[in-house]
């Protein structure tokens, strides 16, 4: 890790979001173990790692959709697990969450999807809601007239952009992006990356981006955290194997980081072959 | 660092291997599921009084549960009455009691068959649909998105469906009763040749308002359990098309079993009350 990266992740600076020794287990499966991370105001952190290493779970722990099996998640110094239901609602309104599949409400059209949070929380009257919704849709680069369509009528890229507009409607302090470019073509991937970058810069928000896409990392990340699947490490090894600057990934001494960044499957294929031999 | 499969971390939560372990885990799962359902139901009740549901949310759900079910419930009710007439006529004719058909058909309809079969039909049409819809919302993270937007999913998704079933299933039951009465009367008097005056006279003599009310009373409970079970199954749907399909099937099967169980328990309770209030009529039950 470079000196800059160490400075960014140091505990001496009070973080906006802090995870302290967080572990998460679903029945017989441990997903996260002993995670210690700090996210600061104004920085965009990319979380990378193999499928199943707990990246999405980490986002859901941060926003209080899941409670950690052990450990503490703090937002602005307050333990999320100890918040009342009203406090949790207030906390969630400080986040915008772009889900992996956009998670647009099927029964509502695009306009109502983006207006949903504004109406539910009586933020403003209907003319103001209309103004905000249209502005957010425009920011997301969606053409006029699209607001009357149902989610089923949209392409994958359009869904993601509507999801982004909905997440931004309540003007959150922190944006959480769960694999925002998954399943999109390279052009649309770049469009989404650009939108994320613009959002982070123009609104000066903190952002946490879960992604497999190294182009996204290079484009938007101030800092990168790489998680490693629990099923592939020995007890005692830290699950966070990289916590530094994006351009430092190439200089990381950990070969697992290089394998992931370069998409090298050699070791994994050897491991699979060994398992097959063992089973035979 | 060696790449290896994780062993030590999960020692405390290893999968059960013996039949006894598996049985224990299954029992634990059932108890946990019942507890979860109880908590889910209490939350739904609390949210009914805690926050008013918007009309824009309520009206489409009421339309879906009520208006869209009218045809299927009417057909079900009509055929119940007609089948009862066909089956009972021969037996009653052998004893020379065919004019009493009206009382038997109508009292069976309004007390038992109308409410139970209408509820069963609605558990299939409405309950399975709700479980599948909410299950799809669960697996596509729409329920998580609601929560992330600061909205309680039970308040937004369950309460309107619960109110719709609670209020509309009794009305649909009344309609099934009415159509059954008409169906039974048409077959008895027009096809089987039972005297119309005697048919209706015996019906009026035997069927009381309380009989109709007993059916409607039960249908409130049927409506409530259909909504709660179906929504709970949908909320706990596992991933994929198989998970959603399983949730829809479970919603119907569980609702059906609970409807039959409640019919028995509420029937016993209703009879006890009836006997206590009108001891002179106990012999009729």
∠ CA A119-B236-A66, rounded to 5°: 65
Q: State the average pLDDT over residues A146-173.
A: 90
Asked if A103 lies within 8 A of B144 by C-beta distance, the reply is: yes
Rounded CA gap, B219 and B166, in Å?
Answer: 8
When pLDDT is cut at 50, 70 and 90, the band that residue A258 belongs to is confident
Percent of residues, chain B, with pLDDT higher than 70:
92
Rounded to two decimals, the ipTM of the complex is 0.86
pLDDT of A223 over the 90 cut = yes
pLDDT at position B274 over 60: yes
Q: Are A65 and B148 in contact (CB under 8 A)?
A: yes
Lowest model confidence (mean pLDDT) among A9-13, A50-54, B56-60: A9-13
Residue B272, Cβ density class (10 Å: 0-12 exposed, 13-18 middle, ≥19 buried): exposed
Residue A242 phi/psi, 5-degree rounding, is -150, 135
Mean pLDDT for the stretch of residues B135-146: 94
Residue-level pLDDT at B6: 44
Over residues A72-80, the mean pLDDT reads 91
How far apart CA A214 and CA A201 sit, in angstroms, is 20
Question: For chain A, where do the domains classified as CATH 3.40.50.300 start and end?
Answer: 3-94+175-187+206-248
Mean pLDDT of A165-172: 90
β-bridge mates for residue A174, sequence order: A95, A206
Average the pLDDT over A71-92 and give the result. 91
Q: How far is B28 from chain A (nearest CA, A)?
A: 12
- For A95, which of B4, B8, B148 is closest by C-beta distance? B148
pLDDT attached to residue B67: 94
Rounded Cα distance, B120 and A205, in Å: 52
pLDDT digits (tens, 9 = 90+) for B104-132: 899 999 988 999 999 999 999 999 999 99
The pLDDT value recorded for residue A13 is 60
pLDDT of B54-74, one tens digit each?
A: 898 899 999 999 999 999 999
CA pair distance B88, A95, nearest whole angstrom: 66
Asked if the Cβ–Cβ distance from B3 to A28 is below 8 Å, we say no
- Mean pLDDT across chain B: 88
Rounded Cα distance, B119 and B216, in Å: 11
Q: Flag whether pLDDT at B245 surpasses 90.
A: yes
The pLDDT score that the predictor gives to residue A259 is: 86
Closest CA to A211 of A99, A63, A49: A49
Q: Nearest residue of B to residue A241 by CA position?
A: B1
Residues of B in contact with A129 (CB under 8 A): none
**Regarding the domain delimited by A3-94+175-187+206-248, which CATH topology (the fold level of the hierarchy) does it fall under?**
Rossmann fold (3.40.50)
- Per CB-CB distance under 8 Å, the chain B contacts of A90 are 150
**What is the SS3 string spanning B190-213?**
HHCCCCHHHHHHHHHHHCCHHHHH
Query: What is d(CA A178, CA A196) in angstroms, rounded to the nearest whole number?
Result: 12
| A65 in contact with chain B, both atoms CB, cutoff 8 A | yes
Q: Cβ neighbours of residue A207 under 8 Å, at least 6 residues apart?
A: A43, A44, A45, A174, A175, A176, A177, A196, A199, A200, A220
Q: How far apart are CA A137 and CA B22, in angstroms?
A: 52
Q: Which of B257, B235, B65, B260 is nearest to B166 (CA)?
A: B65
Residue B181 is predicted with a pLDDT of 93
Is B14–A28 a contact, with Cβ atoms under 8 angstroms apart?
yes
Closest CA to A129 of B57, B144, A120: A120
Indicate if the alpha-carbon torsion angle B3, B8, B14, B20 is positive or negative. Answer: positive
pLDDT band of B15, cuts 50, 70, 90 = low
Note the helical H segments in A70-109.
Answer: 85-92
pTM: 0.85
> What is the rounded distance in angstroms from the CA atom of residue B149 to the CA atom of residue B160?
19
- What is the band of A129 on the pLDDT scale with cuts at 50, 70, 90? very high
Give chain B's contact residues with A (Cβ, < 8 Å). 1-10, 13-15, 60, 136-137, 140-142, 144-152, 156
The number of C-alpha atoms within 13 Å of B45 and in the hemisphere containing its C-beta is: 8
- Closest C-alpha to A241, from A249, B79, B209, B243: A249
User: How many Å lie between the alpha carbon of A246 and the closest alpha carbon of chain B?
Assistant: 23
What is the spatial distance between Cα B48 and Cα B56, in angstroms, rounded to a whole number?
16
**Average pLDDT over chain A, rounded to whole?**
86
Does residue A252 or residue B77 have the better pLDDT? B77
**Residue B121: predicted pLDDT:** 92
Q: What percent of chain A clears pLDDT 70, i.e. is strictly above it?
A: 95
Query: What average pLDDT does this structure show over A154-173?
Result: 90
> Rounded CA gap, B168 and B74, in Å?
14
Range 87-106 of A in CB contact (< 8 A) with B: 89-90, 92-93, 95, 97, 99-101, 103-106
User: Which tokens go with B54?
Assistant: 């918007």
**Centroid of chain to Cα B270:** 18
| pLDDT higher than 70, residue B284 | no
pLDDT > 90 in chain A, percent: 40
Nearest-angstrom CA–CA distance, B245 and B233:
11
**Which chain A residues are within 8 Å of B2, Cβ to Cβ?**
234
Closest B-chain CA to A86:
B150
Does residue A8 surpass a pLDDT of 80?
no
Listing from the earlier edge strand, what are the strands of the sheet with A223-227? A95-98, A174-178, A206-210, A44-49, A223-227, A240-244
Is the model's pLDDT at B39 over the cut of 80?
A: yes
Helix (H, G, I), strand (E, B) or coil at B181: helix
* CB-closest option in A25, A101, A170 to B141: A101
The closest alpha carbon to A215, from A195, A186, A255, belongs to A186
> Does pLDDT of A11 surpass 80?
no
Chain B positions in Cβ-Cβ contact with residue A100 (cut-off 8 Å):
141
* pLDDT(B3) > 70: no
SS3 assignment, position A103: coil
Band of pLDDT at residue A5, cut at 50, 70 and 90:
very low
Main-chain phi, psi angles of A71, to 5 degrees? 95, 180
Residues of A in contact with B130 (CB under 8 A): none
Which two structure tokens, joined as six digits, stand for A271? 């491991």
Q: Specify burial of residue B96 (Cβ count, 10 A radius: 0-12, 13-18, 19+).
A: exposed
- Taking the CA of residue B110 and the nearest CA in chain A, the distance in Å comes to 37
**Closest of A227, A209, A205 to residue A218, by C-alpha:** A209
pLDDT band at A6 (very low <50, low <70, confident <90, very high): very low
């Amino acid at each position: 890790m470079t000196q800059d990266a160490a400075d960014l992740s140091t505990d001496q600076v009070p973080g906006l979001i802090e995870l302290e020794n967080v572990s998460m287990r679903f029945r017989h499966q441990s997903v996260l173990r002993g995670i210690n991370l700090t996210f600061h105001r104004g920085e965009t952190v990319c979380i990378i790692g193999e499928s199943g290493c707990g990246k999405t779970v980490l986002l859901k722990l941060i926003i209080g959709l899941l409670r950690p099996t052990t450990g503490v998640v703090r937002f602005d110094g307050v333990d999320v697990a100890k918040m009342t239901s009203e406090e949790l609602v207030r906390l969630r309104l400080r986040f915008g969450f772009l889900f992996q599949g956009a998670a647009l409400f099927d029964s509502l059209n695009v306009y109502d999807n983006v207006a949903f949070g504004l109406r539910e929380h009586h933020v403003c009257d209907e003319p103001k809601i209309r103004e905000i919704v249209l502005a957010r849709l425009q920011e997301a680069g969606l053409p006029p007239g699209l607001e009357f369509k149902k989610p089923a009528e949209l392409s994958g890229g359009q869904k993601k952009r509507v999801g982004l507009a909905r997440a931004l409607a309540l003007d959150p302090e922190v944006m959480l992006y769960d694999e925002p470019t998954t399943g999109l073509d390279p052009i649309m991937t770049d469009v989404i990356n650009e939108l994320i970058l613009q959002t982070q810069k123009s609104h000066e928000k903190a952002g946490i981006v879960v992604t497999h896409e190294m182009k996204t990392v290079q484009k938007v990340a101030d800092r990168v955290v790489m998680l490693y699947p629990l099923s592939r490490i020995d007890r005692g090894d830290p699950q966070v194997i990289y916590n530094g600057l994006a351009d430092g990934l190439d200089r990381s001494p950990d070969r697992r980081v290089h394998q992931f960044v370069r998409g090298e499957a050699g070791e994994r294929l050897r491991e699979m072959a060994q398992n097959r031999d063992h089973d035979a | 660092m060696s790449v290896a499969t994780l062993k030590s971390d999960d020692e405390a939560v290893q999968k059960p291997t013996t039949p006894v372990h598996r049985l224990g885990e299954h029992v634990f799962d059932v108890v946990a599921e019942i507890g979860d359902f109880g908590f889910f139901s209490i939350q739904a009740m609390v949210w009914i009084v805690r926050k008013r549901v918007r009309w824009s949310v309520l009206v489409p759900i009421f339309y879906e549960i009520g208006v869209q079910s009218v045809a299927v419930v009417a057909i079900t009710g009509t055929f119940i009455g007609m089948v009862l007439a066909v089956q009972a006529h021969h037996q009653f004719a052998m004893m020379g009691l065919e004019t009493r058909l009206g009382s038997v058909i109508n009292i069976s309809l309004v007390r038992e068959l109308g409410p139970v079969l209408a509820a069963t039909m609605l558990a299939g049409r409405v309950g399975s649909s709700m479980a599948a819809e909410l299950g799809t919302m669960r697996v596509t993270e729409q329920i998580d998105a609601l929560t992330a937007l600061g909205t309680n999913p039970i308040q937004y998704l369950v309460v309107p469906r619960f109110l719709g079933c609670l209020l509309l299933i009794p009305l649909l039951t009344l309609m099934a009763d009415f159509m059954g009465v008409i169906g039974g009367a048409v077959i008895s008097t027009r096809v089987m040749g039972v005297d119309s005056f005697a048919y209706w006279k015996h019906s009026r003599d035997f069927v009381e308002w309380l009989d109709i009310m007993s059916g409607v009373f039960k249908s409130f409970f049927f409506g409530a359990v259909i909504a709660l079970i179906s929504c709970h199954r949908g909320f706990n749907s596992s991933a994929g098309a198989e998970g959603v399909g399983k949730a829809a099937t479970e919603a119907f099967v569980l609702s059906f079993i609970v409807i039959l169980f409640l019919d028995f328990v509420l029937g016993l309770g209703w009879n006890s009350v009836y006997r206590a209030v009108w001891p002179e009529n106990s012999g009729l039950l």
